[in-house]
Structures are given as C-alpha cells and as structure tokens.
Structure 1
Amino acid sequence: MKQRSHLWLLVFAGLVLVACNQENPTNTSETPPNIVFILADDFGWKDASYNGSEYYDTPNIDRIAKKGFKFTNGYATCQVCSPSRASIMTGKFPARHGITDYIGAWSDTTWRGAGRFTALLPAKYDQALNSADTTLAEVLQTAGYRTFFAGKWHLGSKGSWPEDHGFDINKGGWEKGSPIGGYFSPWTNPNLDNQKDGENLSIRLADETVAFMSSHHPDTTGKPFFAFLSFYAVHSPIQTTEEKWAKYRAKAERQGIAPSAYKMGHFLPIRQVQDNPIYAGLVETMDEAVGKVLTGLDELGLAENTIVVFTSDNGGVAAGDAFSTSNLPLRGGKGYQYEGGIREPYLIKVPWMKAESTEITTPATGTDFYPTLLELAGLSALPHQHQDGISLVPALKGQELPERPLIWHYPHYGNQGGEPSSIIRRGDWKLIQYYESDKQELFNLSTDLEEQHNLVMKHPEIAERLHKELFDYLNSVGALFPRKDPLYDAQNEQAYLQSIENELLPRLEEERLQILSPDFDGGNWWGSQVVED
C-alpha cells in the first residue's frame, strides 16, 4: 500500500456518496455513477466508421459516438502508448510524469543496438508509473468505488501492475505492451489464464468486464464501480479469422484496389490507404467486444447511470509495426509528431447530459479525463495531482473553456519513423520543435489540417511566442532531452535509409497485394479455427 499524507483521502471515504448527488444534481440516480473507461491500443482517428472510415465497420463504437459527446480535437498526450496511458492515470503530461517513451524502448547509448545510425541518442525516461502519484483509480477506490482493470497495462513490471495503483481486480495487465502469443488462446499472460483454445483475447477481456459489472452490481454491493477495459487490440501482431479476412478482402475489391499504397517518409514508408483485410478484421472484433460491454450495461440495467469513455493511446499505425492503416487526411501516424500520431477518437457518454450538438471542437487531451471524471462523479478536483488536465464538464454543458496550451514531449526516435521533437498547440496554432535539425514547423490547423504548409517564415512572432511557452514549461518540469551521438556516421545512416527505400518499400507493396489476393493462405488463421465443444 502507498503511504499517503493527503488529508483529503480521510475525508472522501465517509462523505463521497452524499456529496456526489449534491454536487451533480442533474444525475437523478440515488447512487454515484459507474464509470466504464474503454481504451483501444493504436486505434487511429480515422479507424472508426463514425469518423469517416469507409473500410472498417465499427457500429458499437459509433453507438457511443451517437449517444455521447465527440471531441473532434481530442488527443492522446503522446504518439506512443506508455506515456499516454500514464497521463490518463495521473493527469500529467509525459514531460512531467517522466515516462516519455514506451516502456522497454532503448534510450541513450543502448539505442545504438537498434541499428538505426541516428545523429542523436534518445533521452532516458522512467520505466514505471511513479508510486508517489495518486492515480485516478486510487482516488475512486478511496471514494468507495470498486475498481477493475482488464487488458494492456504497460506501465511497469511486477510491483507496478494495476493492483499496485488502485485496482482491486486485474485481468491481463502486466508489463508487456503487446499480446504475447497473439489474439487467440493459448496466449502467454500471468494475469489471464487460458480457458479454451482459439478463444479471442478482445472478446475474453470484454467478457471479464461484463462479469465484473454483474458480480459488483451497485444494487448488490451498494457501491459504484470503475471498470477500465484496456484492449491489446489493435496493436500488432494483426490477426483475424478467415471469415473476416474474406469479408474485408471482398470489400477492398469492391472499393477498388490501388496499385500502390505507400510513400516514403523521412525514415520509413507510410501507408496511404485503408485496405488491409486482416487489420480490418481485428478492428471489427474489438468493436464486437465493445458491443458486448454496452449490451452488458443494458441487460444489467446500468446504462442510465454509467459514464462510458472511449479513446485510444496514440494514432493508427501507418508506418512501422505492421504498417496497418492510413490516418489520412491526417499526416503520419503512431510515433509521429503530426496529427496522425496524436489525434484520437475521444468520446464521453454521460447518460443524463444531453446537448443540441454533441460535437465539441474544444481541444482536449488524455490528462483531462482525470478531473472530468472526478467532477462527473461529484468528487472534488485534485489540482496538485492532475496538474496538466482540466475538467471538460463545462464544455459538455455547452460552455466555453479558456484557451490553454497542450504540450507533447517525445525526445526519442519512434519505431514508426517519428523524430525527436516537442510540440505545443494553442488555439489553432501548432508548433513542432525538432531536436536533430533544430528546425521548427508552424501550422494553422483550422486551415491546414494536413500540415502541409509551414508558416514559420510568414508568422515568426507566433513561432517565437509558442517556442518560449513550450520551453518555459519543459524547463519548469525538468524535462530530459536527447543528446548528440559522438559515434554518429552520416554515411552509415544514409546506407540504412537507402536500404529502406530500395528493399522494404517494394516488399511492403508486394505483401499488401498478396494479402488482398483471393488465393492468400493465412495458414491455420492463427489458431482461430476451433471446433466448439
């Protein structure tokens, strides 16, 4: 157990149930609201059909969007997973909480082992969630909530698992960031047993969540619950069933299979079209799992007093990993400093809150969930903890929020081709500071969502003002930065990049067409061909 000196914790346990309804009078339920937080992994802004994808089918995610609030400028706090997840839990930007890369990534001199031959050595970073932080789960747990976690954690090894940070029950959360053994049982996970060969991991996690909600029904326990369903999907390895592959292969054919799908980025090829039928099947299965949870809430009679959140931890994988999707018109994807790497589906469904328009253009980010959910639950804000988040409840009520800076700090090279950089967005303006070249890019997102027109030379005064605000913040929180590699050899890097363009790019194009061929053989379809008992 953590040693805490916060006196407010002593007050919460006895007063929260009464305070909730007093502070949130629009919720007419006699009990505080339940919270279901659904976090997808590597699910891009354009991967949901409600947001314009014509290839992927996501009717259940769309259901949340239809009944909830859609933040069209919703962001993760980092372009890779662990930092974003830590921000949701702590209400702090990565530069402040110290986890600035995915846990397990090489940094400093160990980075040379990646064979990338880059000019900089990435900054060091924290390898676990700081126990001095009071997580969102701990606050709710202390306030009388039963807390449950299912799926991907990736915020530290044993001793820093979900149960060490405020979750009563942990089903499948450990240090790994991908599903070891794949999406079909048998998998390797010390916190999620194998029950039946061929069982799908996303469906299993949804079933565990519904079972928790049933066994901890507020009518029985007298307590609300906080269920955090953190899918491993749609992270690589991308896997699906033969039936879903066939469905989406045929769909790609109907829509017209482009002769090529990639273009070279700075370090890697970047996918330009959504037509991978294996990835599409993985997306659909995750959506089916979301549907199981929503149906469970309905059948248990809990939907009208349960807040549902859906978001992702970073952009869709357009380069690196499995090169699975395209985020166009957003530039880049997972690992990138552009909008495709950080802008996400960002949905909040509050059953007792209705609005004429459920689309909210106010920029919001992962740190905002913490204070928002506290306010919706009728709990006091903890500004000393969620220092980089604000409550979005006024925006849900149709009110204006004050303009504020959003800040990203990624002093690393992404596996997907992103560059060491820091970002600030204020209003419509976005400034990117690169550490390798020391260049800056300035975009007006209201007129250039695709980030094609660098306006630094046209508006140097805006760039200078944002640069100062960005580094005032980074320096105030003790942010770490990359450093020059004294062993850097430009010729070695150029040879590496040439091999990517000459060898990897054509291989990716060939593999794509193979997967889309009617004769494609997926082997045993990753163990998904199972005879039911």
Structure 2
Amino acid sequence: MASLLALCLATMTVAAEPPNILFVLTDDQAPWALGASGYDQAKTPNMDRLFSQGAHLTNAFVVTPVCSPSRAALMTGRYGTELGITDWLHSSKEPNAGLDPKTIAWPEVLAKHGYTNALIGKWHLGMLEKFHPTEMGFHHFFGFRGGGNSPSNPKLEKEGIVEKFEGLTTDILTDHAIEFLKENKKRPFLVSVHYRAPHARWLPVADEDWAPYEKMDPKIPNPDYPNLNTPRVKKMTREYLASVRGVDRNLGRLLTTLDELDLEDNTVVIFTSDHGYNMGHNGIWHKGNGHWVLTKNPKPTPNVPAGQRPNMYDHSIRVPAAVRWPGKIKPGTVVTETISNLDWYPTILAMAGVPVPKEAGVRGHNFLPLLEGKSIPWDNNFYAEYSTKHQSKTDMRMYRTPEWKLVRDFKNAGRDELYHLKNDADEAHNLINSSDEKVKGVIDKLDQKIRAKMKELNDPVLRSASSSSSAGQ
C-alpha cells in the first residue's frame, strides 16, 4: 500500500509539473515572410515545421505596429497609452523613458511561481537600470537594451557588462540561448529569445542564408503601384528574406537542442513577432511608421514629412504566430479567431497553471482553450492604437472587425481611412468619403467603438480632442 501511494504521489508530481516555455520573438517579421503562410519565396523549413507541429494562429495581431509599445503590451497585457509608451523609445531623445517597473509583467509572475527566466536579445523598454529586464522578472539578461544593433559583431550586455562579440548577431544570441537551456534543463524555465532580425539593416547574413536569394528575381505584391521603385523593392526583398532565413536556421538549432536535452515534450514553444512589415505593399516599406518606396513621393503635410506614410495597415499589425505543446495541442491545429499580443499574458500563465494577478490590470484574454480545439465565446473585433512622434506626428486609433476597418487620426484632419476588408483585403480603396448611406452607418458605428475604447482606457488623445471640439464651439 505504501509503495502504491508513493507511486501515485510520483505520478501526481509528474502530471503537475509546469511546462518549460521557449518564447521566440522576431523583429519586423510579417506573416507573408513565412513558407507556412503560402509564400513560396520564403525559405523557412524550421518555422514551417514548428507551425505544422502545433497551432497556427492565422489572425494574430499587435495593438501597436512599432517596437516599444508592442513589446510593452506583450509584457504587460496592457495598451501603450496606459503605460505612457506610444511610439518607439528614442534612447537619445528620451533617455529617461521606459516601462514602469511597478507594472506587473508576466515573467515576473512566473518567477514568483518557481520559474527561472532568461531574456536573450532585444529589450527596447528603457535604458536606465530601473528599467532593466531583471527588474521585470528575468533572472538573466544577455542582449541589448536599446532598439538598434548591428547584424554582425554586435555590442551586447553580458552579466551587466557591455562588450563586443564577433560573429552574426542572430547566431550569437542563439548560442547563448542554447547555453542557458543546457544549464537549466532540470527546472522549469522561461527562455525569451528576442531576435534583432529581420530588422533592417539585413546584411550581412551567413552564406547559406544568402544563397537562395542572391540571384532571385522576387515577385513583389503590387508591381503596378504608381511610381513604385521596383528595383529597390526587389533588392530589399532579397535581403529581408535572407535575414528571415537566418532566424529560421537558428530556430532549427533551438528545436534540435530541445530534442537533444529530452525537453521537447514538456516545453511550450511560442513563435511570433513584435509587429508586421510592408515591402512595397500599398507603395511603402517598413511598419506602422512606414516609408514610401516610390520614385515620386506625395507632398508632405505639416505633421507628416515627405517620404513618410504612418499607417495601421494589416501588413503592419498582423504577425506570424504559432504554439507547439506536445500532448496538449494537436499538430495541424489552425486558430482563425482574432488574437492580439495582449492575450499572450493570460494564456501563458494559464499554460503554467498560474493565476493572473488582479492588480496587473491585464486587458487580454486566455486563448488556451482555442489552442486545445475547444469552442468558446470569442470577440473577433479588435482595437489598436499608434501615436507617432518621431518621423511624423499622428494620433491614429483603429477599430477592426472581420469585415471592416476604420482608422481615425485625431491629430490630422483628412487622414481617416475606411476599408471593406471582406472585398478589399489589400486595403487599396479608402471609402472614408463614400456617399453610400450603408458605408456612412459603418463609419458612425466604428467611430463610436473607437471612442468608447479610448474612454475606457482614459486615452489622453480623446480628452485633447474633446477639449479642442469644445473650444471650437
């Protein structure tokens, strides 16, 4: 009887063992830059394998299409306006800005429940010591605190000291991640690998990553766009895809290490990006703070300089996303519900069997049941925001349904946009000035949704807009 009880207790212990978590975050990767999305020019065998071995989230989005506010939303499950981070943090212009350490990040919650956590790669949520990743639940940090770095021979922080490393940045970050996996394989861990790639500058890359693209004549999304600088788009496409392939090769190294350490079955592997990317789509390249890639640019306006195209296009806000968890998530699962990066917080804690702290103020929702193939009530409407303040000055707020998208710019009259996504997935036809009564009704309804969300978030932009409106009466 005693031996049977011991066996039962041992079984219970194994069953209750929390999963390890490997969270891979790329920088500037759009879903189209992925073979699993049907884009055959992307040579991504390891990403494709990962996406097929678990759940592929085909409608994953971020609430702000630029680095810092997106990463802040990921870490906290809250919007950038709530955190005071609405655009990418400029280390020289905003040296004292960062994510408030009083904010409860999900790595911090995991740490309190026995996880050993490492952040390897890009942080971009503050340069000061009080904003250091180790203040937000990470026990180990190897990487860089700012937004930019070189694709080769980078300067990286290791054990609090910044030094120069020789080699390709993506490879170096992976080397350290593998080292951490080997040293911590006997206890629950979180390893967040935040790659710098495929953020520009894309080259150099390894010869094997450049080889498929060196002589490629890539197809581009809309070659007939007026004044499109086609040669430049093709050149950038080759370099961008080569950078993606460098990440793919290193993802393969991480997955192989999990296999070799016998960690695969009890490790959740999450793959996603901090925002999407445009490469000639709608005549621009880059992300939410887009740049025209034309031979002749539209005229500038007071708040939007020549060459700039701030936007909330789907290509900027949609991201690749996959979750592999052997024995929990059926291979080949496809989740079509709309997921945002706010939702990772409660979902990851649910995977770990850890409750979400009420005081964290998390806005996201747990989508673990969707990953498990369960049918649950889910709101597929989606709100996003982006106030640009560096290259341009805008206050864009967006409400998206599976059929329509409305973008309001509260700082710049004449920049509002409405797209009928059901018939115009490329967002090529702005219907904001339509005289159709049905369209006008859609605008009014979505505008009310935007304002209600801004009010809920106590968005200062709404207060400013209301004050301006009152002053003008």
TM-score by length of 2: 0.80
Confirm or deny: 8 A CA contact 2:71 2:274 kept in the other structure. yes
Confirm or deny: 8 A CA contact 2:121 2:194 kept in the other structure. yes
Picking from 81, 84, 96, the partner of 2:70 is 84
Match of 2:46 in 1: 60
* 3-state secondary structure, aligned to 1:311: strand
* 3-state secondary structure, aligned to 2:342: helix
Picking from 421, 434, 456, the partner of 1:476 is 456
Match of 1:170 in 2: 141
Q: Which amino acid aligns with 1:173?
A: F
Confirm or deny: 8 A CA contact 1:42 1:314 kept in the other structure. yes
Match of 1:506 in 2: none
Q: d(CA) in 2 for partners of 1:376 and 1:264?
A: 49
Q: Which amino acid aligns with 1:141?
A: A
> 2:261 aligned with 1:305, yes or no?
no
Q: d(CA) in 2 for partners of 1:371 and 1:273?
A: 40
Confirm or deny: 8 A CA contact 2:270 2:324 kept in the other structure. yes
Task: Spell out, residue by residue over 1:433-469, the C-alpha distance to the aligned partner (whole angstroms, 9 max, x if none).
Answer: 1231255333343332212344554322232122112
Which is strand-richer, 1 or 2? 2
Structure 1, gaps ≥5 residues long: 1-20, 111-123, 327-332, 485-533
> 2:253 aligned with 1:292, yes or no?
yes
Does the C-alpha gap of structure 1 residues 153 and 356 become closer, same or farther in structure 2, counting only changes over 3 Å? Answer: closer
Q: CA deviation at 1:67?
A: 0.7
Match of 1:232 in 2: 196
CA RMSD of aligned residues (A): 3.6
Match of 1:329 in 2: none
Confirm or deny: 8 A CA contact 1:55 1:251 kept in the other structure. no
Does the C-alpha gap of structure 1 residues 377 and 302 become closer, same or farther in structure 2, counting only changes over 3 Å? Answer: same
Confirm or deny: 8 A CA contact 2:156 2:165 kept in the other structure. no
Q: CA deviation at 1:262?
A: 7.1
* 3-state secondary structure, aligned to 2:211: helix
Question: Which shifted more, 94-103 or 306-315?
Answer: 94-103
Q: Which amino acid aligns with 1:77?
A: V
Match of 1:48 in 2: 34
Does the C-alpha gap of structure 1 residues 35 and 437 become closer, same or farther in structure 2, counting only changes over 3 Å? Answer: same
Q: CA deviation at 1:183?
A: 1.9
Q: d(CA) in 1 for partners of 2:358 and 2:381?
A: 17
Match of 1:206 in 2: 174
* 3-state secondary structure, aligned to 1:66: helix
Task: Spell out, residue by residue over 1:21-60, the C-alpha distance to the aligned partner (whole angstroms, 9 max, x if none).
Answer: 99xxxx9745210011100001112111111222221111
Q: CA deviation at 1:193?
A: 6.0
Q: d(CA) in 1 for partners of 2:457 and 2:194?
A: 29
Q: d(CA) in 1 for partners of 2:18 and 2:360?
A: 22
Does the C-alpha gap of structure 1 residues 357 and 292 become closer, same or farther in structure 2, counting only changes over 3 Å? Answer: closer
Aligned length in residues: 425
Q: d(CA) in 2 for partners of 1:424 and 1:270?
A: 35
> 2:240 aligned with 1:279, yes or no?
yes
Q: d(CA) in 1 for partners of 2:250 and 2:69?
A: 25
Q: d(CA) in 1 for partners of 2:402 and 2:327?
A: 30
Match of 1:114 in 2: none
Q: CA deviation at 1:371?
A: 0.3
Match of 2:439 in 1: 459
Q: d(CA) in 2 for partners of 1:334 and 1:170?
A: 35
Q: d(CA) in 2 for partners of 1:213 and 1:55?
A: 32
Task: Map 1:158-197; keep pairs closer than 5 Å.
Answer: 158-159=128-129, 160-174=131-145, 176-179=146-149, 182-185=150-153, 187-191=154-158, 197=166
Match of 1:4 in 2: none
Task: Spell out, residue by residue over 1:362-411, the C-alpha distance to the aligned partner (whole angstroms, 9 max, x if none).
Answer: 00010100000111111113354253200001211331332164221112
Structure 2, gaps ≥5 residues long: 1-10, 294-307, 466-473
Match of 1:494 in 2: none
Q: d(CA) in 2 for partners of 1:98 and 1:173?
A: 21
> 2:126 aligned with 1:156, yes or no?
yes
Point out which structure has higher relative CO (alpha carbons under 8 A, 6+ apart): 1
Does the C-alpha gap of structure 1 residues 466 and 256 become closer, same or farther in structure 2, counting only changes over 3 Å? Answer: closer
Q: d(CA) in 1 for partners of 2:84 and 2:65?
A: 15
Q: d(CA) in 2 for partners of 1:89 and 1:354?
A: 23
Confirm or deny: 8 A CA contact 1:70 1:348 kept in the other structure. yes
Does the C-alpha gap of structure 1 residues 204 and 464 become closer, same or farther in structure 2, counting only changes over 3 Å? Answer: same
TM-score by length of 1: 0.71
Match of 1:351 in 2: 326
% of aligned pairs identical?
26
Question: Which shifted more, 467-476 or 312-321?
Answer: 312-321
Q: d(CA) in 2 for partners of 1:246 and 1:43?
A: 17
* 3-state secondary structure, aligned to 1:189: strand
Q: d(CA) in 2 for partners of 1:156 and 1:256?
A: 39
Q: Which amino acid aligns with 1:292?
A: R
Q: d(CA) in 2 for partners of 1:356 and 1:236?
A: 33
Q: Which amino acid aligns with 2:105?
A: T
Q: d(CA) in 2 for partners of 1:468 and 1:420?
A: 17
Task: Spell out, residue by residue over 1:329-350, the C-alpha distance to the aligned partner (whole angstroms, 9 max, x if none).
Answer: xxxx996311011001011112
Q: d(CA) in 2 for partners of 1:277 and 1:423?
A: 32
> 2:41 aligned with 1:71, yes or no?
no
Q: Which amino acid aligns with 2:423?
A: T
Task: Spell out, residue by residue over 1:213-271, the C-alpha distance to the aligned partner (whole angstroms, 9 max, x if none).
Answer: 110112xxxx3001100001111221124735762445514x67999797569xx9997
Match of 1:9 in 2: none
Q: d(CA) in 2 for partners of 1:401 and 1:227?
A: 31
Q: d(CA) in 2 for partners of 1:53 and 1:274?
A: 17
Q: Which amino acid aligns with 2:41?
A: Y
Confirm or deny: 8 A CA contact 2:213 2:242 kept in the other structure. no
